Chains A and B, each alone.
Chain A
């Protein structure tokens, strides 16, 4: 190929970024003080996966408690703390930073043909801020006062009354939000300022588009939760009257402010995942993506409409009927851009030559799980049914299907897709295929019964239940063993591949976005010479040229 993509002609001729340091240190210092976006991405990865494992184990413990009625394992208070911790860890430490911080950091600069993000130093700072937040959150568990028990939603008035370490946990969330904001600022600036030659906005891969839209939500939504959290802390510390109804405050106003962030946060979780799907599907269908522009725009549309629908978490809070109706209507609008994406993905696969490698299979299971989550979301989005189902297991099932089945699954898919690029090693494909199947079975066993229980009336956040739910709870707990077991299995074969895996070629899947043009693992600063982009992002005619390199 002509040098239009800054390609390395021969495999593995240069030292990879693992072998070079951006600073004068080697060993651990080369990591902890690095300004290289790839290393920072990996540092996020190790941290985030560790927290995910902790969260999953807590989930496992809760399921164990619910194996049989009677509340034998934990007290009610312990259970309260468990689901709060589980929620806080999964939301703030795993799923919100997950894809953008790891894969965004690692691949966004590469995919737009840049050497790094716009503010490398700030990028490192974000990681430290994230770790600080995480440490604060974990500290709050062990200090006197006891772990926080308010639920991850911190609703007023209980969160100003609870004697547990609410303030510290809230402060942790504040700090984590700060990290998220910094990452957002970094990515928006990177996309505007550092695109390579010829990389127009409409030549950017869709993962970049999605991460870009996400970064915007991080910038314009996170400050709202930051201030809300800060106000609750101040209220607890100084008895200032802000939200506490005893001092005239309006607890529903707290819910507004909370969801003004936390609903868009749902899109912070799902948009990057959708971006990953838009990468994987064309690669394994060997076809250019169908409706590139619509998908790009639909990311922006979702980001925008997602900002308008927070009130659907508050249908039973006592907000005005008019709000209920407006928010319900707006909620249905989000289905449109999401539908655009789904149809375009399907249309991309149509008549493609599909290569069912593991990343593709993970995407398939994502589509099923996410569709179940999305469709049950419609049930909750309509007023009448929501009144019946709110605060039941139906909701628990719904958000696990969207967050875990959606973003969580794609997180794993992205691992399978980019692992060879990040580490230069290939994992065992057979293991991966088995894992998809086990995961799918475990997942549905774990969560599908919760829909039924919720419909029957099982409330969420209870450590005990009536015997009538026993069979469903049983299945659910068995499912949790399969699911968490599978997750450990996956981590296992990745770790094995890291140490013992076969060397991966630079382009094992036949992808054409820029990261597949460079060696695996990439060199320091990604490109020998900065690429000049001439092709559309999913133009598979490049493949032939790439083979000749």
Chain B
């Protein structure tokens, strides 16, 4: 048996898939509207929500070993650090 005994039903997956498609629709629609400087922010926010859905449900991280979440946080933090410190240069050059 695989490590995690928590099996997700077909229904959940389909619901998540519908949500993902809905968010895609939203983000495409919003891109057509001019929101000025918020466009990028909203697009990224939606992308983040979508990826949270994929990671949590499709990739099971919600139900897997807790240590995987810590690992995930670690790599997320790393990327954040790289971005922040690089932009300290780019923004103030």
Give A residues with C-beta under 8 Å from B: 192, 216, 220, 224, 252-253, 256, 260, 307-308, 310-311, 318-323, 326-327
B33, CB-defined interface residue at 8 Å: no
Known A192-B67, A307-B81, A308-B81: A320·B75 in contact at CB below 8 Å: no
Docked pose: A252 CA to B88 CA in angstroms: 13
A347 → chain B, closest Cβ, in Å?
A: 31
Enumerate chain A residues within 8 angstroms of B78, measured Cβ to Cβ: 220, 307
Asked whether, in the complex, the Cβ of B81 is within 8 Å of the Cβ of A311, the reply is no
**Which partner residue on chain B sits nearest A250 by CB separation?**
B90
Q: Please give the residue numbers on chain B whose beta carbons come within 8 Å of chain A beta carbons, in ascending order.
A: 67, 74-75, 78, 81-82, 85-86, 88-93
Question: Which residues of chain B are near A311, meaning CB under 8 Å?
Answer: 85, 89
Closest chain B residue to A322 by CB distance?
A: B92
Residues of B within 8 A of A310 (CB): 85
The minimal Cβ–Cβ distance linking B69 to chain A, given in whole angstroms, is 14
Q: Which residues of B are found within 8 Å of A319, using beta-carbon distances?
A: 89, 93
Besides A252-B89, A323-B85, 8 other A-B contacts (C-beta < 8 A) = A216-B74, A220-B74, A220-B78, A307-B78, A308-B81, A311-B85, A311-B89, A320-B92
Q: Contact: A256 with B81, CB < 8 Å?
A: no
Are A321's CB and B92's CB within 8 A? yes
Q: Please, which residues of chain A bring their CB within 8 A of the CB of B92?
A: 320-323
Complex interface: chain B residues within 8 A of A253 (CB)? 86
The chain B residue with its CB closest to the CB of A260 is B82
Which B residues touch A322, using CB under 8 A?
88-89, 92
Nearest Cβ on chain B to A236's Cβ, whole angstroms:
23
Q: Which 5 A-B pairs have the closest CB atoms?
A: A320-B92, A323-B89, A320-B93, A319-B89, A322-B92
Q: How far is the CA of A34 from the CA of B75 in the complex (A)?
A: 33
Chain A-chain B contacts (Cβ-Cβ < 8 Å), number: 39
Minimum distance in angstroms from B61 CB to a CB of chain A? 16
A394 smallest CB distance to B (angstroms):
25
A-B contacts, 14 of them at CB < 8 A, read A224-B82, A252-B89, A253-B86, A260-B86, A307-B78, A307-B81, A308-B85, A320-B90, A320-B93, A321-B92, A323-B85, A323-B88, A326-B88, A327-B85
- Which B residues are CB-close (under 8 A) to A256? 86, 89
Q: Within the assembled complex, what's the spacing in Å between the Cα atoms of A216 and B75?
A: 10
User: Which chain B residues border A252 with CB–CB below 8 Å?
Assistant: 89
Asked if A320 meets B81 with Cβ closer than 8 Å, knowing A220-B74, A220-B75, A256-B86, the reply is no
**For residue A323, which residues in chain B have a CB less than 8 angstroms away from its CB?**
85, 88-89, 92
Do A320 and B88 touch across chains, with their CB atoms under 8 A apart?
Answer: yes
Chain B neighbourhood of A224, CB < 8 A: 82
Query: How far is it, in angstroms, between the C-alpha of A260 and the C-alpha of B93 when the chains are bound?
Result: 18
Task: A325 to B36: give the CA distance in the assembly, Å.
Answer: 34
Q: Which residues on B sit within 8 Å (CB–CB) of A327?
A: 85
Q: How far is the CA of A253 from the CA of B90 in the complex (A)?
A: 9
CA separation between A192 and B82, bound complex, in Å? 27
Asked whether A326 lies within 8 Å of B85 as measured between CB atoms, the reply is yes
* A319 CB, nearest partner CB in chain B, Å: 4
A123 to B86, CA, bound (A): 34
Residue numbers in B under 8 Å from A260 (CB-CB)? 82, 86
Residue of B nearest to A309 (CB): B85
Contacts of A326 in B (CB 8 A): 85, 88
